[in-house]
Amino acid sequence: MAQKASSFSTIAILLLILISPSFASFPSVPILNSDSICNLTPHPDFCKSILPSDKSITKFDFSRICLRQSLSNAYSLLGSIKYFLRLPSTSYLSTIRALEDCKFLAELNVDFLSYTLQNINAKEDNNNLDSSMAETLHALLSAVLTNTETCLEGLGASEAASRVEKGLLPSILNGDRFHGISLAIFKHAWVHEITKPLTGRRNHGFLNLGKAKNSPLPLIMSGHDQAIYESVSGQKPAHPDVGEGVNVSQLVVVNPDGSGDFTTINEAVAAAPNNTGNGTQYFVIYVVSGVYEEYVVIPKKKQNLMMIGDGIDKTIITGNRSVADGNGMTTFNSATFAVVGSGFVAVNITFRNTAGAINHQAVAVRNGADKSTFYRCSFEGYQDTLYTHSLRQFYKECDIYGTIDFIFGNAAVVFQDCNIYPRLPLEHQFNTITAQGRRDPNQSTGISIQNCVIKAANDLASSNRTTKTYLGRPWKEFSRTIVMQSFMDDLIEPSGWAEWVGNFALDTLYYAEYRNSGPGSNTDARVNWQGYHKNLTGSDAAVFTVDNLIQGGTWLDPTGVPYNEDLD
């Protein structure tokens, strides 16, 4: 049945191509055949089996064909997942949780693929997709692959993995190939690899105000909201003339004592307007000092939401879920705080997972929100503290604590002016700061640690135990991480980086260091892997700046958060 459905989908897609004016070829665009375009993908043979051999269509035509097939597969997989969730025999809690993750991720993939097709089908002139939109769609298609991989990981760890995987695995793997091919051809057709040169345009946001301890954001709001803000925060918002101001549509207050608008964070999130992603105003939730024992999710329909606390260790959101707690948790859904809605901003908040090292994977924050920002926040956990899952993210002046792989995931993410604190792990364990999960060379993802401080947390610094600490290890085949212009204390091992398993990914990863300082930054005894780079030029390092890796210059200014666009 699946093969017949797939053949029908292919025929339908080809008919659409013939009748749709958006698939017309333009004389200035080179005509290609499936062999030449498929050789650019990670699955050339599979690609040739699904694409027409017609030599009269362009790379843009091929891109649309593949994306339509990817979308068809995403719908099919979503239906299969829902079917398994309805089966009475699906009773293991861990399997149910893994399937729920897969359903959520498959729904995101349908959204991302539909949005991509909508935008490229609207372009009668194939060359008229502006660079900002091309980068956004590139990020979305990169996330589609990450979502599929995350679903597989959760299913593989469930108690009924063999039975469920037998039913879903063919569709998941088929979709994975479709998505990989779609990403590769889209990148070849629509994304222009242009790294912006170093321009000296460095400081943005509200500039010097960002240097003062606990200085407020420059909020632009109504007189009524400003009076409330000043009352609960004890300070006036920064004057917007100093820099870019944050346009506030509405301010609400969370206070457990009942004096605010809501007593819980989840109530405030639920009250935020839906689907405001095309706007430039923020719905602001002010969370006063206190310990909030809540599991919070910022869903995909809650966009441009800003959450402000009273400060690190004052406003604390805490939970203790872990994969070892007996409740069938996956790493993905162990998060105390999870973000999906695009344009999210958090300021002056501590996010904590108290499961402890003994319970292994236990996430404090999982972030899969495009154009999301965390400013002056703290992330506290042990293994897998901060799950930078997907899409584009920025962290400024934050504190991050953990042990094993405590910054991990497959987002395009920049950490700037942050403090990174490896903690004391269990006996016989070692610390790895990062575990980046790029598994396809066409994904626009990677971890960039810029102008940060890496030093031992108090428990590790005061311990008599010898604990090895590494900058990272390769979770996936094309893992990509750079540490640049940062201070490394002497806790970093001379070799710098650790293997995952044997020789896995050592030739295909991209790890780099650039102009770091401190006793742990000496690269003389670093690993000699083919994928490790220690002699970068400024142009090499510029690929991993705010401007180039996450296109921050196009979306960070409205947040009011200061950032350095390029290299210092």
Domain spans, the chain? 34-190, 409-559
Which pLDDT score is estimated for 203? 56
Q: Taking 60 as the threshold, does the pLDDT of residue 86 lie above it?
A: yes
Which pLDDT score is estimated for 237? 84
Average of per-residue pLDDT across 5-32: 40
Query: Measured between alpha carbons, how far is 344 from 374 in angstroms, rounded to an integer?
Result: 8
CATH topology of domain 409-559: Pectate Lyase C-like (2.160.20)
Query: Measured between alpha carbons, how far is 441 from 505 in angstroms, rounded to an integer?
Result: 12
Where does the pLDDT of residue 58 fall: very low under 50, low under 70, confident under 90, or very high at 90 and above?
A: confident
Q: Are the C-beta atoms of residues 116 and 186 closer than 8 Å to each other?
A: yes
Spatial strand order of the sheet with 337-339 comes to 296-298, 337-339, 365-367, 386-388, 404-409, 431-436, 469-472
Q: Taking 50 as the threshold, does the pLDDT of residue 375 lie above it?
A: yes
Which pLDDT score is estimated for 167? 80
Phi–psi pair at 304, nearest 5 degrees: 55, 50
Q: Taking 50 as the threshold, does the pLDDT of residue 180 lie above it?
A: yes
List alpha helices for 382-505, DSSP H: 458-461
Q: Report the CATH number of the 34-190 domain.
A: 1.20.140.40
Average of per-residue pLDDT across 285-304: 98
Higher pLDDT: 458 or 89? It is 458
The percentage of residues in the chain with a pLDDT greater than 70, rounded to a whole number, is 86
Which pLDDT score is estimated for 158? 62
Where does the pLDDT of residue 155 fall: very low under 50, low under 70, confident under 90, or very high at 90 and above?
A: confident
Query: Measured between alpha carbons, how far is 384 from 403 in angstroms, rounded to an integer?
Result: 8
Which pLDDT score is estimated for 204? 55
Strands 563-564 and 203-204: antiparallel
Q: Taking 90 as the threshold, does the pLDDT of residue 490 lie above it?
A: yes
Average of per-residue pLDDT across 497-522: 97
User: Is residue 405 annotated as a catalytic residue, yes or no?
Assistant: yes
Q: From the candidates 310, 370, 405, 566, give the one annotated as an active-site residue.
A: 405
Average of per-residue pLDDT across 201-228: 69
Where does the pLDDT of residue 205 fall: very low under 50, low under 70, confident under 90, or very high at 90 and above?
A: low
Q: Are the C-beta atoms of residues 373 and 556 closer than 8 Å to each other?
A: yes
Higher pLDDT: 335 or 87? It is 335
The percentage of residues in the chain with a pLDDT greater than 90, rounded to a whole number, is 72
Of 35-44, 116-125, 311-320, give the range with the top mean pLDDT. 311-320
Where does the pLDDT of residue 240 fall: very low under 50, low under 70, confident under 90, or very high at 90 and above?
A: low
Where does the pLDDT of residue 13 fall: very low under 50, low under 70, confident under 90, or very high at 90 and above?
A: very low
Which pLDDT score is estimated for 215? 67
When mean pLDDT is compared across 35-49, 358-372, 391-405, 489-503, the lowest value belongs to: 35-49
Q: Taking 80 as the threshold, does the pLDDT of residue 40 lie above it?
A: yes
Q: Are the C-beta atoms of residues 325 and 355 closer than 8 Å to each other?
A: yes
Average of per-residue pLDDT across 547-563: 95
